[in-house]
Chain A
């Protein structure tokens, strides 16, 4: 294994942990707003680290570019959907959870 292999493995494993954290947050957090927060961790950071790790292994720049594009698209979708759902939830009178 080369240095970039180790880096790739580290990025992928941390990315996987963020996915786990996102799922865990989705299951444990008390209301829709906090769950949105958990979801975007998986979207942004989890997939971001996965893509970064895989890009190190990519056989060509085209593949790395496609990976980056995929991540940016998921970011765009995740951010927009989160905004729409949070806005809708507020309009429907749901209030963010307070301790």
Chain B
């Protein structure tokens, strides 16, 4: 009985995910597309839970609910401000023979992908055993954190670099359209005053809990970013004194610590990011703390768009 109901939940969630994605990509109205996409992210978090991936669910929840929606809606507002008829974009899709042949090709591809997924062997051990066998030497007991920061630390190193690169790209494009905002008002003011400290607290909690349970630097960084986004939406601006050097230090802390550690481990242990088991726990905590600050700061800066002080507002 229980497996049956659980199966029904799985079927309903999978259908909902596909339906929401379809709706988001097919809707004529751009705003509707964005709202459907936000809802899609929300349901994806439930799917991760059902697939037994609570770490991923946390990341999806924090990024999807805290950053993506605000990012898309702010971009939508700027887009409409820059070109008022930008919403009328249903015209100009591919037409005629091109459209039909594209559809046939996509259907063929979908069938091929479905076949490929279907015929995969249903019992494949993966790397779970290796992770479990070495977890004692990783310094943490949550296997996902162990993979992210110890066994495959180079992935995470590259990942924080990609974040920094994305921000450099964003800053080098320069300021975009000026943005209009409605007045914040007392309700929003008190809401952000209440939420921002709580968000920072929860970010710290997720960072700490990540050592032995779902959580970690990415989730904590995303929650931290949400705190910043919330404050920015309530009319707060980074004080000028913090906008220059302190902001850059926060942005660079994670990548710099990570790079330093990579160099040291290559010199001492002979292999990139091979953490000595005795020190691994403490080193991971240091990387994670700095990475959390940098990920949070980078995502906030990405939401802001132009470098603080350079954004031209009305």
Is the beta-carbon distance between B185 and A87 smaller than 8 angstroms? yes
List A53-99 residues whose CB lies under 8 Å from chain B: 73, 76-77, 80, 83-84, 87-88
> In whole angstroms, how far apart are the Cα atoms of A62 and B182 in the complex?
40
- Taking CB atoms, residues of chain A closer than 8 Å to B187 are 80, 83-84, 87
> In whole angstroms, how far apart are the Cα atoms of A73 and B182 in the complex?
24
Is the beta-carbon distance between B194 and A84 smaller than 8 angstroms? no
Given contacts A80-B187, A83-B187, contact A88 B182 (CB under 8 A): yes
Give B235 Cβ to nearest chain A Cβ, in Å: 13
Is the beta-carbon distance between B188 and A80 smaller than 8 angstroms? yes
Main secondary structure of the interface of A (DSSP, over half): helix
> In whole angstroms, how far apart are the Cα atoms of A26 and B194 in the complex?
28
CB of B158 within 8 A of chain A? no
Is the beta-carbon distance between B185 and A80 smaller than 8 angstroms? no
Q: Which residue of chain B lies nearest to A81 when distances are taken between CB atoms in the complex?
A: B191
Give A5 Cβ to nearest chain B Cβ, in Å: 17
> In whole angstroms, how far apart are the Cα atoms of A84 and B191 in the complex?
11
List B177-208 residues whose CB lies under 8 Å from chain A: 182, 185, 187-188, 191, 194-195, 198
> In whole angstroms, how far apart are the Cα atoms of A83 and B187 in the complex?
8
> In whole angstroms, how far apart are the Cα atoms of A77 and B191 in the complex?
8
- Taking CB atoms, residues of chain B closer than 8 Å to A88 are 182
Is the beta-carbon distance between B191 and A76 smaller than 8 angstroms? yes
Instruction: Select which of B182, B188, B194 is within 8 A of A76 by beta carbon.
Output: B194
> In whole angstroms, how far apart are the Cα atoms of A77 and B195 in the complex?
9
- Taking CB atoms, residues of chain B closer than 8 Å to A84 are 185, 187-188
> In whole angstroms, how far apart are the Cα atoms of A76 and B187 in the complex?
10
- Taking CB atoms, residues of chain A closer than 8 Å to B182 are 88
Give A90 Cβ to nearest chain B Cβ, in Å: 13
Q: Which residue of chain B lies nearest to A83 when distances are taken between CB atoms in the complex?
A: B187
- Taking CB atoms, residues of chain A closer than 8 Å to B191 are 76-77, 80
> In whole angstroms, how far apart are the Cα atoms of A83 and B191 in the complex?
11
Give B209 Cβ to nearest chain A Cβ, in Å: 12
Q: Which residue of chain A lies nearest to B182 when distances are taken between CB atoms in the complex?
A: A88
> In whole angstroms, how far apart are the Cα atoms of A80 and B185 in the complex?
11
- Taking CB atoms, residues of chain B closer than 8 Å to A73 are 198
Interface string of B189-232 (1 = CB under 8 A from A): 00100110010000000000000000000000000000000000
Interface string of B234-270 (1 = CB under 8 A from A): 0000000000000000000000000000000000000
- Taking CB atoms, residues of chain B closer than 8 Å to A87 are 185, 187
> In whole angstroms, how far apart are the Cα atoms of A80 and B194 in the complex?
12
Q: Which of A77, A83, A88 has the most CB of B within 10 A?
A: A83
List A17-31 residues whose CB lies under 8 Å from chain B: none
Q: Which residue of chain A lies nearest to B195 when distances are taken between CB atoms in the complex?
A: A76
- Taking CB atoms, residues of chain B closer than 8 Å to A80 are 187-188, 191
- Taking CB atoms, residues of chain A closer than 8 Å to B185 are 84, 87
Give A45 Cβ to nearest chain B Cβ, in Å: 21
Q: Which residue of chain A lies nearest to B191 when distances are taken between CB atoms in the complex?
A: A80
Q: Which residue of chain B lies nearest to A88 when distances are taken between CB atoms in the complex?
A: B182
> In whole angstroms, how far apart are the Cα atoms of A76 and B195 in the complex?
9
Task: Enumerate chain A interface residues (CB-CB to B < 8 A).
Answer: 73, 76-77, 80, 83-84, 87-88
Would you list 15 pairs from A and B whose C-beta atoms are within 8 A, ordered by A residue? A73-B198, A76-B191, A76-B194, A76-B195, A77-B191, A80-B187, A80-B188, A80-B191, A83-B187, A84-B185, A84-B187, A84-B188, A87-B185, A87-B187, A88-B182
